[in-house]
């Protein structure tokens, strides 16, 4: 039986009282401290994304805790296009992380930023002009063939949302910047953090979580744990 748990520890008093005793009994201990980030363990959630469902959970978390641009927020079609574009970009980074991309949020931002630059030689007033992001997807699809599914998702977005392309793109970039700037996210999204790698191999593990009193941040952190951490690391197994 794998025995793991997340302990809500306001003020860090429980960890101070029990950590050493638990270590002596073979428990692996980590800290997620949203009040003192310098003393917190760090996580790169991208390492735990495996299936399309996992990617969907991550995109849902990003959309739930950030605001769209004013124009996107008024149009359900543009909001759906935001989800399609973010899902394609995250999936693309996952597929290419072992080849030419680091597996982190910065890679997603850099990838989408290519879409804000038209390909050299195109007419700036042409609504169907190719961007550097288009060229990137075309190149990778040519190399990896049918296995490069994010390209098909991206094409679907482009074919149905030409007129709102730049509106959606810049709204997505704004959301990602907001997401990274949130204090809780800075802890969870530490670039290339290694403290959590291999946790699924521990038989007994505890995480002490010290949350601030701000309930919005608390809910945001709860969603992050529920969506990108708990099913991978803390499901009990016989």
Q: Helices 52-64 and 76-96 sit at what angle, rounded to 10 degrees?
A: 130
- Helices vs. strands in the chain: H and E counts, helices first: 11, 3
For the record, the structure tokens of 121 come out as 């030689």
Q: Quote the pTM value.
A: 0.77
Per-residue model confidence as pLDDT tens for the chain (238 residues) = 345 677 888 888 889 999 999 888 888 888 888 888 888 888 787 877 878 888 888 898 888 888 999 989 888 988 999 999 999 999 988 888 756 678 888 889 999 999 887 666 555 556 567 788 888 888 888 888 777 888 888 888 887 777 788 889 999 999 999 988 877 777 777 777 766 666 666 667 788 888 776 656 666 666 556 554 544 444 444 3
For the record, the structure tokens of 150 come out as 């994010």
Is there a contact between 208 and 7 (Cβ–Cβ < 8 Å)?
Answer: yes
**Beta bridge partners of residue 32, listed in sequence order:** 209
């Amino acid at each position: 039986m794998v025995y793991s748990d997340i302990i809500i520890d306001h003020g860090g008093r429980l960890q101070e009282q029990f950590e050493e005793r638990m270590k002596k009994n073979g428990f692996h201990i980590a800290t997620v401290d949203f009040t003192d980030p310098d003393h917190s363990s760090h996580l790169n959630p991208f390492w735990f994304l495996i299936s399309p469902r996992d990617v969907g959970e991550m995109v849902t978390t990003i959309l739930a805790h950030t605001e769209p641009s004013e124009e996107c927020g008024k149009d359900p079609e543009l909001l759906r296009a935001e989800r399609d574009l973010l899902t394609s970009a995250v999936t693309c980074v996952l597929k290419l992380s072992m080849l030419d991309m680091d597996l982190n949020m910065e890679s997603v931002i850099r990838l989408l930023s290519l879409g804000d630059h038209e390909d050299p030689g195109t007419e700036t007033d042409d609504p169907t002009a190719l961007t550097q992001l288009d060229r990137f997807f075309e190149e990778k699809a040519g190399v990896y063939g049918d296995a490069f599914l994010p390209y098909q998702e991206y094409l679907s977005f482009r074919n149905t949302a030409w007129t709102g392309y730049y509106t959606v793109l810049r709204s997505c970039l704004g959301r990602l910047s907001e997401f990274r700037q949130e204090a809780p996210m800075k802890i969870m999204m530490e670039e290339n953090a290694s403290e959590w790698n291999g946790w699924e191999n521990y038989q007994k593990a505890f995480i002490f979580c010290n949350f601030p009193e701000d309930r919005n941040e608390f809910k945001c952190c709860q969603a992050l744990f529920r969506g990108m951490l708990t099913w991978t690391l803390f499901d009990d197994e016989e």
